[in-house]
Amino acid sequence: MSVVPTTIAPEVEAAVAGFMLTQAQMTEVVERMTKEIKMGLARDTHPRAVIKCFVSYVQDLPTGKERGKYLALDLGGSNFRVLLVDLKSNTDIDIVSKSFVIASSMLSGPGKDLFDFIANCLADFCKEQRLQGEAIPLGFTFSFPLQQQGLTKGILVTWTKGFSCEGVVGKNVVALLQEAIERRGDLKINIVAILNDTVGTLMSCAFTSRNCRIGLIVGTGSNACYVEKTVNAECFENYQTSPKPHMIINAEWGAFGDNGVLDFVRTPYDRIVDKVTPNPGKQTFEKCISGMYMGELVRLVLVDLMAKGLIFAGERSEKIQTQWNFQTSYLSDIESDSPGDFRNCSKVISQLGLVGNHVRDKLHLRYICEAVSSRSAKLCSCGLVTLINKMNINDVSVGIDGSVYRFHPRYHDLLMFHMTKLLRPGIKFELLESDDGSGKGAALIAATAVQNQVSK
């Protein structure tokens, strides 16, 4: 019977040592992030802040009594969804949704074409649901960095996630979509709110969990929002006079580190990834955390070690040599294997065009994946702890969505472990998987917006 090796070669350990964050480094990340968030909130320092802490204009959390039919549009990547959400009670919610694929050519084409396409898809959906004659409020989830100037006015700051449509940055995306809808002339849709997907996630969880105060996305990208005291949100024009005590802040934490303050936890592999993205020098924190980049980080480590003959010695693979060919889902597959079992790992190795007969190679590949995913969870924990400390509350729920959190087998446990170590003793928290924050959350914000219009 062959013995399964359990030790990692020193050269492999050395290659990923930069991903192994210490407790002291994590504490330093929290301190630096706290400083950056305060800069983002303050009017004087906001222009030069990297964590922008944008005002969401959402000041009301759900009461649990929201009712009615609402449309939701969820645009956050090359797939987008249109949803019809019927809020019958806080436990009885009917959701019908349809996904549409945006052609890759449209991701970098004229912005007008993109919004015309979205309006066409909205019309198709409304026709299928027999809604043509109804005037239905719509909540628009737009998951790109957005500076809001009102609940229905959001200025695109920069495209991320592979988009580069011209004529949209610096424009109000609500107006662009409303104009596309009106160009058709056959839809009675009124966009009553634009929101970030983190805000939708928070609202969705707050509908049933009364102390939810943070919304987190960790999927293709990463971002978070939280509930701040209105008087601290200085970029809100009525921050001193608003009768409402709270404001949801869209942190846009993906840009943390764009000014160099995260360089002490970045590796040479992070710098290589950054250079080949459409937005070099931007979204530094996100590039250390999110699903769009984790697989590429693993691939770069593999290419490095293979060139030195330290893993898969003597093997060649065109797939491994090609950028972005190591999918982040492979990390979840590989780390799902139980100790000593490499079934999923063997499948991934085969998909990559490798033979990988040696158990030690599989052990090393798993170790590399664990290093990258653990750093992601550690940095995410630092961010969540920063927000909990900033709110200064002792009992909080965090609503979370995104493919990394949902599908990685250890991510939830890693967050729980590292947050507990970083938080002050006695603070209670729970992590809740959001139930369709981008859809249900958008509908809830639309519902509260309509309710506020009625009560004025």
The single residue of 56, 74, 81, 299 carrying the catalytic annotation is 81
Average pLDDT, the chain: 92
The reported pLDDT for the residue numbered 5 is 60
Q: How many CB atoms are located within 10 Å of the residue 268 CB?
A: 11
**Residue 137 within a domain:** yes
Asked if residues 159 and 168 have their Cβ atoms less than 8 Å apart, the reply is yes
Greater pLDDT, 392 or 133: 392
Per the structure, the complete domain to which residue 148 belongs is given by 60-204+435-449
User: Residue 142: which CATH number?
Assistant: 3.30.420.40
**Residue 86 within a domain:** yes
The reported pLDDT for the residue numbered 455 is 56
- What is the mean predicted confidence (pLDDT) over 199-221? 93
* Domain total of the chain: 1
**Residue 357 within a domain:** no
Whole-model pTM: value is 0.90
Buried-state track 81-101, b at ≥16 Cβ within 10 A, e below 16: bbbbbebeeeeebeeeeeebe
Kindly tell me if the per-residue pLDDT of 435 is higher than 80.
no
Q: Which residues pair with 214 in a beta bridge?
A: 226, 398
Owner of token pair 């942190």: 251
Asked if residues 43 and 127 have their Cβ atoms less than 8 Å apart, the reply is no
Q: Does the annotation mark 317 as catalytic?
A: no
* Token duo for residue 175: 């107006």
**Residue 105 within a domain:** yes
**Residue 8 within a domain:** no
Q: Give the model confidence (pLDDT) of 153-205 as tens digits.
A: 999 988 887 888 999 999 999 999 999 999 988 888 889 999 988 999 999 99
Q: How many residues does the chain have?
A: 456
Q: Does the annotation mark 184 as catalytic?
A: no
Instruction: Give CA 438 to chain center in angstroms.
Output: 11
**Residue 13 within a domain:** no
The reported pLDDT for the residue numbered 452 is 73
- Residues 427 and 28: their CA atoms lie apart, in Å, by 20
Nearest Cα neighbor of 147 from 180, 170, 168 is: 170
The single residue of 74, 116, 197, 401 carrying the catalytic annotation is 197
Please state, for a pLDDT cut of 70, what percent of the chain lies above it.
98
The single residue of 56, 143, 376, 397 carrying the catalytic annotation is 143
**Residue 382 within a domain:** no
DSSP element (H, E) containing 201? helix 197-206
**Residue 264 within a domain:** no
Q: Does the annotation mark 197 as catalytic?
A: yes
- Residues 356 and 349: their CA atoms lie apart, in Å, by 6
Kindly tell me if the per-residue pLDDT of 3 is higher than 50.
no
What does the radius of gyration of the chain's CA atoms come to, in whole angstroms? 23
